[in-house]
Structure 1
Amino acid sequence: MDRVTITEASQVAEARRRAVAAAQAIGFDETAAGRVALVVTELSTNIVKYGVPGEILVGTFEDATGSGVEILALDKGPGFSDLGSALRDGHSTGGSAGEGLGAVRRLSDAFDIASRPGTGTAVLARLSGVRPATADGSAAFGAVTVPLRGETANGDAYAVRERLDGWTAIVADGLGHGPEAAKASQEALSLFHHHRDKPPGAILSAIHAGLPQTRGGAVSVASFDRDAGILTFAGIGNVLGAVVSGAVTKRTVSLAGTAGHAARRIQEFEYPMGQDDVFVLCSDGIATGWSLDAYPGIAAAHPSLVAGLIYRDFARARDDATVLVVRGDAS
Structure 2
Amino acid sequence: MMDPVQVCIPVSDPSQVGEVRRAVARMAQPLTMSESRRGDASIIANELATNLVRHARDGRILLQVMSHGASRWLELLSVDGGPGMADVQRCLRDGYSTGGTPGTGLGAVKRLSDEFDVHSMPGKGTVIVSRVATHTALPNVFAVGAVCLTAQGEDVCGDTWRSVERERELAVMVADGLGHGPDAAVAANLAGVAFEGEPFASPEQFYQSAHRSLNGSRGAALARAVIGSTGEVQYSGIGNIAGSLVGSERSRGLASQNGTVGVQIRSHVSTYSHVMPAPGVLLMHSDGITSRWSFDQYPGLLLRHPAVIAGVLSRDFVRGRDDATMLVVSRSRKDDIHV
Structure 1-normalised TM-score?
0.91
5+ residue gaps, structure 2? 1-5, 334-339
For 1:255, give the aligned amino acid: Q
Shift of 1:261: 0.6
C-alpha separation between the residues in 2 aligned to 1:81 and 1:201?
Answer: 50
Residue in 2 that maps onto 1:219: 222
Note if contact 2:68-2:165 (Cα within 8 Å) is conserved in structure 1: no
Q: How does 1:185-264 map to 2 (within 5 A)?
A: 185-227=188-230, 229-264=231-266
Shift of 1:165: 4.6
Matching of residue 278 in structure 1 with residue 298 in structure 2: no
Note if contact 1:45-1:96 (Cα within 8 Å) is conserved in structure 2: no
Shift of 1:71: 0.3
Shift of 1:126: 0.5
Residue in 1 that maps onto 2:74: 69
C-alpha separation between the residues in 2 aligned to 1:137 and 1:233?
Answer: 21
Shift of 1:221: 1.0
Residues paired across the two proteins, number: 327
Q: 1:29 to 1:272 in 2, by over 3 A?
A: closer
Shift of 1:195: 2.7
Residue in 1 that maps onto 2:3: none
Q: 1:281 to 1:188 in 2, by over 3 A?
A: same
SS in 2 for 1:140: strand
For 2:245, give the aligned amino acid: V
**Per-residue Cα deviation, 1:260-297 (whole angstroms, up to 9, x for no partner):** 11234632222332353210110111112222222233
C-alpha separation between the residues in 1 aligned to 2:239 and 2:159?
Answer: 13
C-alpha separation between the residues in 1 aligned to 2:40 and 2:287?
Answer: 35
C-alpha separation between the residues in 2 aligned to 1:96 and 1:280?
Answer: 38
Residue in 2 that maps onto 1:110: 115
Residue in 1 that maps onto 2:31: 26
For 1:298, give the aligned amino acid: L
Shift of 1:74: 0.6
Matching of residue 47 in structure 1 with residue 49 in structure 2: no
Note if contact 1:155-1:175 (Cα within 8 Å) is conserved in structure 2: yes
Note if contact 1:139-1:303 (Cα within 8 Å) is conserved in structure 2: no
**Per-residue Cα deviation, 1:234-272 (whole angstroms, up to 9, x for no partner):** 111111110011142211112222111123463222233
Q: 1:224 to 1:66 in 2, by over 3 A?
A: closer
Residue in 2 that maps onto 1:89: 94
SS in 2 for 1:293: helix
Residue in 2 that maps onto 1:168: 171
Note if contact 1:203-1:221 (Cα within 8 Å) is conserved in structure 2: no
**Per-residue Cα deviation, 1:159-217 (whole angstroms, up to 9, x for no partner):** 11223352221111111222221211111122122232323343223212331121111
Note if contact 2:215-2:262 (Cα within 8 Å) is conserved in structure 1: yes
Note if contact 1:282-1:322 (Cα within 8 Å) is conserved in structure 2: yes
Residue in 1 that maps onto 2:293: 290
**Per-residue Cα deviation, 1:300-331 (whole angstroms, up to 9, x for no partner):** 2211111111111111211111111112469x
SS in 1 for 2:29: helix
**Per-residue Cα deviation, 1:27-76 (whole angstroms, up to 9, x for no partner):** 44443222112111111111112211111001111224621210000111
Note if contact 1:23-1:68 (Cα within 8 Å) is conserved in structure 2: no
C-alpha separation between the residues in 1 aligned to 2:40 and 2:55?
Answer: 23
C-alpha separation between the residues in 1 aligned to 2:155 and 2:101?
Answer: 30
**Per-residue Cα deviation, 1:210-231 (whole angstroms, up to 9, x for no partner):** 311211111011122343x432
Aligned-residue identity in percent: 37
Residue in 2 that maps onto 1:7: 12
C-alpha separation between the residues in 1 aligned to 2:271 and 2:187?
Answer: 23
Residue in 2 that maps onto 1:120: 125
Note if contact 2:150-2:324 (Cα within 8 Å) is conserved in structure 1: yes
Q: 1:185 to 1:78 in 2, by over 3 A?
A: same
RMSD (CA atoms): 2.2
C-alpha separation between the residues in 1 aligned to 2:302 and 2:204?
Answer: 27
Structure 2-normalised TM-score?
0.89
C-alpha separation between the residues in 2 aligned to 1:64 and 1:195?
Answer: 16
Moved more, 26-35 or 209-218: 26-35
5+ residue gaps, structure 1? none
